[in-house]
Amino acid sequence: METRDDEYGTHAPSAGGGADPYPMSYPGLCYEFLLSLSKAVKVTALYRLSHPVVMEAVGKSFAILSSILAASRAPSLTISAEQENWLFNGDIVPSVPGESQNVAVHFKNHGLKGLTFKAGVRSFELGAVCEFFGTAAKNQPEGFFSEFMSQRGVENIKPESVRYVRAAVMESPAGAASPPFSPSMPEDKKPYGAGTGAGRQGVPSSAAPAPAPEGAADQGGALKSISLGNLVKGLVESSVKDPKARVHAYEEALGMIKDAMDKQVEEATRTMQAEKTLAINTRARTEQVLSTVAEGKMIIDRQGRILMMNPAAEAIAGKKFLELAGHHITEHIKPGEHFLALSEDIDLSAGRVPTGEVSVAGDESVEKAVRGSFALLEDDEGRVIGAYTTLPDIMKFKEAERLQEEFLSRITHDLQSPLSSITSALEMLTESAGTRLDQTEGKFLDISVRNSHRLVNMIKGILDFSKLQSGKMEVNPKPVPVSAIINEAGEGLIPWSRTRNISLVLRPPAPDLTVLADHEKMVQVLTNLISNAMKATPSGGTIIVAASPSPRKDGTAVIGVRDTGHGIAKEDLDKVFDKFVQIKSNRHRDGVGLGLAIVKEFIRLHGGRIWAVSEIGKGSTFYFTLPLSA
């Protein structure tokens, strides 16, 4: 048997032939492929492609796909959903229940008529298809599938362009498979009668129809108008000459038809009943699991309005049911205390197709604490069978957070006094003994002074941030000229800019441009932004500080700090204001990554906003707004 290495840990037979690891009929292979592909898509949505569970599921699907390609002896395999049936190179696979229908839903949601797998398809390409079906189906642009596949190096899987339809249902002789026909198949590979109108010839639905025999249309219309009873009667009369025997043959034929129909109905009903029972039992099991891990219960209508709450749910909400009845469940969410996950598919009436989307609400830190401590247990079919958790009580979580902030504030406060004393002593030593020290000693003393100043600033930043986080930081906004803030912050940094050979340009606005601000805090904000610009700008660069009334005429003033430094990557612009974050650059950055987080909080307390624009290699500009005083 010819084999080739499979990226997902299996060896699949090549299209060239060899023993088939799935010794079943061709329709059976097709049916198993749909089931296996559905499961692979489901686990791919939960884990990465490199996860062992995903690798096993995709590998199994790939092995079955390879067997189908080998059995068909065709250069490619096109699968598509046609109403309730599947077409494999035009051969019909009758409607199958359960998992396989999920694949049809994915096709429909993503706007795919079908997929064509070339004989050289590889397992990682099938894995990319599973990954694609896990993407959000809404608002996907035209050609998104092809672009998605191209980005992952997929060359042997294409969206269907021509649909093939057979004249008859697929045959399935035991132990063998009839090779499906394709117009591109070599003549010696076509089944008997292909191309001549005989057998199971495939006809592209987009091709012009063959001319029909004279009178065929009339005959077809006549057959449609004949009832089943009249049709059986005509067949009996044409084959049985004796009138008495005709009656018996007619009754026997109708009885056979009735028995066959009853059997078909019974089998279909049995299958539907089994699926219904499985769905009901699965739902009951999931509800039982969730009821066990949660004491509270709320009932909401299809619009998300609260209809019922038990006492445990009232305790979670912090309000009585009478206060919340009829209100939407999101109206009383406290971001710092609650976390809500709500399906977008509350209303599944009128045959609506589930989107699978879930909206979440709540503080990010609370969400991480809840989600990071709770795991669902699933069986190999992806159904929920239990839960595994180390879920903390929210009050314990908040208490731990409070203790952490208190410890940070206390330790930094205790460090501030001795560090200030050390700094003062070093400065006095520099003034009194600096001239008597040799070059090496003076250098070490200078390094000690600079490091002590840096530590004092770091501790001051941590203290300020702790106050901001605990809500103890006070601001006293008063009318203050913007020019006074810019001049005070800038003039204090001009000596530093000269030592670094950087041109610091201050462009204060007219003196009558005043804002409501805490003068000291805004000087600290602007000093921080200019200092950051200084650190990011190489020798010979320029920093400009300017301000003006907002062009939006929204009652605010805009202040900006522009540099000609190395710039910030677009994906990092939203991160620069996060606490303890320092963006990677070619230059060493002092501090612990709290400067911009403190700046952002100061601006927020003043009712303003702050943002940055940047381009790699061309510098950055930080803007913030403050409300005008009049």
Query: Cβ(51)–Cβ(107) under 8 Å?
Result: no
The reported pLDDT for the residue numbered 11 is 38
Beta partners for residue 116, in sequence order: 78, 158
The reported pLDDT for the residue numbered 184 is 37
State the Cα–Cα distance between residues 137 and 111, nearest whole angstrom: 9
* pLDDT tens profile 402-427: 676 666 666 666 666 676 677 777 77
The reported pLDDT for the residue numbered 190 is 38
Chain-centroid distance of CA 269 in Å reads: 39
Residue 269 backbone dihedrals phi, psi, to 5 degrees: -65, -40
Cα dihedral 593, 596, 597, 602 in deg (nearest 10) = 150
* pLDDT tens profile 462-491: 666 666 665 666 778 999 999 999 999 888
Q: CB neighbours of 601 closer than 8 A, spacing ≥ 6?
A: 465, 468, 473
SS3 for 510-569 is: CCCCEEEECHHHHHHHHHHHHHHHHHHCCCCCEEEEEEEECCCCCCEEEEEEEECCCCCC
The reported pLDDT for the residue numbered 155 is 92
State the Cα–Cα distance between residues 412 and 602, nearest whole angstrom: 20
Q: Please measure the distance between the N-terminal and C-terminal CA atoms of the chain and give it in whole angstroms.
A: 86
Q: Is the pTM of this model over 0.85?
A: no
| CA atoms within 13 A of residue 124's CA, in its CB half-sphere | 12
Q: CB neighbours of 336 closer than 8 A, spacing ≥ 6?
A: 363, 366, 398
Which segments of the chain have a pLDDT < 70?
Answer: 1-24, 83-84, 94-100, 161-229, 287, 289-293, 336, 350-351, 390-402, 404-417, 419-420, 434, 450-451, 453-454, 456-473, 579-593
Q: CB neighbours of 536 closer than 8 A, spacing ≥ 6?
A: 563, 565, 566, 585, 587, 619, 620
∠ Cα 535 538 543 (to 5°): 70
Q: What is the DSSP string of 145-181?
A: HHHHHHHTT--SEEE--S-EE-SSPPP--TT--PPPP
State the Cα–Cα distance between residues 455 and 251, nearest whole angstrom: 103
